[in-house]
Amino acid sequence: MVFIIVPRLSAYTGFFEICSPEKGESVFISAASGAVGQLVGQFAKLMGCSVVGSAGRYVTLLLFDRRLKRREGFLYRVHCTAIMSFLTIVDLLRNKFGFDEAFNYKEERDLDAALKRYFPEGIDIYFENIGGKMLDAMLHNMRVHGRIAACGMISQYNLAQPEVVDLMCLIHKCIHMEGFTIVDYFHLNSKFLDMVLPYVREGKIVYVGDTAGGIESGPSYLIGLFKGYNVGK
């Protein structure tokens, strides 16, 4: 149950509790095809925001229709019902999750230019999952009084020397950036479920994830997490 709750509650906490979104604001999500990112994007669209996501996957996806089963008030498993189609990562974000735009950041030589292309007037909210060069480019494209929820920084996890980021933007743009871990927010789980379950039942929130067959698939799927081969949890 914890593995189901944690990414969903992380999305809820970072977006609503830290970023305090308002209708019409511009939102950018890195690692947008992950278990957290795909839900943040759908929350943002339900709030009436403009949403762009990035991911780093090249290959096409074999997409399944997965439905959350409910038992005694809890979502307890994801069941694959039918093969639907092959999608690229950009197609997935736009056509399955409803993002306004999406791009593969590995195909962008200049992240700053890419962000300016999608957000010519700047970004109000950034949901941070990558760190490093992505965060640096983001800070230069945030609007005054922008908000950043730092959920993860996967590009920095195995570096002996973390990449330097220009944090002066936090000062002269009055940006609020807050890191968080979900252990401080488990008390919000009931509030989260009250909000999200009606949307799930109505089909307004969907989830896509990879499923490995057999324990022998474990090592290759673990490696895939760090090479951008996975979607969801």
CA distance to 105, 107, 141, 167, 215, per residue, from 110 (Å): 9, 9, 13, 19, 40
Give the separation between CA 100 and CA 114, rounded to whole angstroms. Answer: 15
User: pLDDT band at residue 195, thresholds of 50, 70 and 90?
Assistant: very high
User: pLDDT band at residue 173, thresholds of 50, 70 and 90?
Assistant: very high
User: pLDDT band at residue 192, thresholds of 50, 70 and 90?
Assistant: very high
Amino acid of residue 189: N
Q: Which two tokens stand for residue 198?
A: 């009606």
Q: What is the pTM of this model?
A: 0.82
Best CA proximity match to 14, nearest among 2, 24, 31 = 31
Q: How far is CA 178 from the centre of its chain?
A: 16
In a 10 Å sphere around its CB, with 0-12 CB exposed, 13-18 middle and 19+ buried, how is residue 230 labelled?
buried
The per-residue pLDDT for range 85-104, each reduced to its tens digit, is 456 788 889 999 999 999 99
List domains and CATH numbers for the chain.
2-225 (3.40.50.720)
Count Cα atoms within 13 angstroms, Cβ side, for 23.
2
Looking up tokens 């997490």 gives 225
The per-residue pLDDT for range 7-66, each reduced to its tens digit, is 889 999 999 999 999 999 999 999 998 889 999 999 999 999 999 999 876 544 544 444
